[in-house]
Amino acid sequence: MVLAERENLLAAGHRACPGCGAAIALRQILRALGRDTIVVSATGCVETFTSPYGMSAWEVPWIHSLFENSASVASGVQAALEFLQEKSSVVVISGDGGTFDIGMGAMSGMFERKQNITYICYDNEAYMNTGVQGSSATPYGSSTTTTPAGRASFGKIQHKKDMPAIALAHDVDYVATASIAYPQDLMKKVAKTKEIYGPKYIQVHTPCTIGWGFDSSKTIEIGKLAVETGLVPIYEVEKGKPMVVKKVKNKKPVMEYLKFQNRYRHLLKGEQKDIADQIQAICDKNIERFGI
């Protein structure tokens, strides 16, 4: 893989919160893709903080239409490029709400049509742009404004949807998970999509200082802990090849991860502590299932 030396395709002056994980993801993703790329974004934080009118931070062609239809817009862009016999990577960059929930049907159609598009979900595990509402990517036990922890509840009751498995069920050509805390791995995976013709899905774990409640300097530290505890498995599946999983030598107890974040604060002591044990069980299951 040849990456242009520290090429930066996300201009300064964008309006993400200080320490935003999604902004870090954008910089790494664009570096791996290079200039010959057309990006389609769904409504969400990334779309909002990069595109006040006249002040776009994008240095590649970029289009936004609605919250639910980024895969459909990308499908049209890709079909047009194909007709014109022009070669450019067509890439969707959408949040977890736009991917796991409202845009899932459009994405499924794009996968079914076997279109040559890379769909990247930056997963900050809730609807952040509208004030931290729970999505189907919000993890079990985490508190959001629509899954609030309190005397009557321990936070989100449902488990996180396994979106990469749903993508795999479409028999797409490439599925990977990644984290901004491991930029070389992330950029390698994104660069690989340029060599594969067909639909591809990458899910990038992007800690959010505001929605998760941690100090802006800790974004990468938290991202690492999510992987080191086994809560967020990092792997890739190339069609016809066995899954490759990122191994973790010294696994950490999930409490190390939870204790840094306000969204899990209610699990640290008292009667809801057994929910933390259940989150540890999710990690243990991941470690076994993926061979982490």
Ligand X SMILES: Cc1ncc(C[n+]2csc(CCOP(=O)(O)OP(=O)(O)O)c2C)c(N)n1
Residue 67 binding result from ligand SF4, ligand X, Mg ion, none, given CB thresholds of 5 to 8 Å by partner type: ligand X
Q: Is residue 64 within 8 Å of residue 41, measured between CB atoms?
A: yes
For residue 44, the 8-state DSSP code is S
Q: Establish if 208 lies at the interface with ligand SF4 (CB under 6 A).
A: yes
Residue 179, classified by CB atoms within 10 Å of its CB into exposed (0-12), middle (13-18) or buried (19+), is: buried
Indicate the residue among 55 and 165 with the shorter CB distance to ligand SF4.
55
Among 97, 155, 164, 211, binds ligand SF4 (CB under 6 A): 211
Residue with tokens 């960059």: 93
Between 101 and 236, name the residue whose CB sits nearer to Mg ion. Answer: 101
CA distances from 156 to 4, 21, 48, 96 (A): 42, 22, 26, 16
Considering the rule CB under 5 A, would residue 96 count as an interface residue with Mg ion? yes
Beta-strand relationship, 89-95 and 37-41: parallel
* Residues in binding contact with another protein, number by CB under 8 A: 36
Output the smallest distance, CB 17 to ligand SF4, in A.
3
Closest CA to 264 of 156, 136, 131, 135: 156
41 to each of 98, 120, 128, 170, 204, how far by Cα in Å? 9, 10, 15, 22, 15
Q: Counting contacts by CB under 6 A, is residue 10 touching ligand SF4?
A: no
How far apart are the C-alpha atoms of 158 and 147, rounded to whole Å? 10
283 binds, among ligand SF4, another protein, ligand X, none (CB under 5 to 8 A by kind): none
Nearest residue (CB) to Mg ion, 149 versus 208: 208
Among 210, 258, 267, 279, which residue interacts with ligand SF4 (rule: CB under 6 A)? Answer: 210
Q: Tell me the per-residue interface mask from 204 to 243 with another protein, x by CB under 8 A, - otherwise.
A: -----------xxxxxxx----------------------
Residue among 136, 140, 126 nearest 276 (CA)? 140
The entry of Mg ion, another protein, ligand X, none that residue 259 binds, CB within 5 to 8 Å by partner kind: none
Interface residues toward ligand X, by CB under 6 A: 22, 43-46, 67-68, 95-98, 124, 127-130, 135
Q: How far is the CB of 149 from Mg ion (least distance, A)?
A: 19
Question: Is residue 177 part of the contact set for Mg ion (CB under 5 A)?
Answer: no
User: Judged by CB, which is closer to Mg ion: 9, or 121?
Assistant: 121
Q: Is 73 in the site for another protein (CB under 8 A)?
A: no
Tell me which of Mg ion, ligand X, ligand SF4, none is bound by residue 43, counting a contact when its beta carbon lies within the kind-specific cut-off of 5 to 8 angstroms.
ligand X
Phi, psi at 46, each rounded to 5°: -60, -45
138 binds Mg ion (CB under 5 A): no
Extract the tokens encoding 187.
Answer: 């950029």
**Residue 147 contacts residue 264 (beta carbons within 8 Å):** no
Size of the site for ligand SF4 (CB under 6 A): 12
What is the pattern of x (binds ligand SF4, CB under 6 A) and - over residues 12-51? ----xx--x-x----------------------x---x--
Instruction: Quickly list H helices, the chain.
Output: 21-33, 45-50, 70-84, 96, 104-112, 163-169, 183-192, 209-212, 219-228, 255-258, 273-290
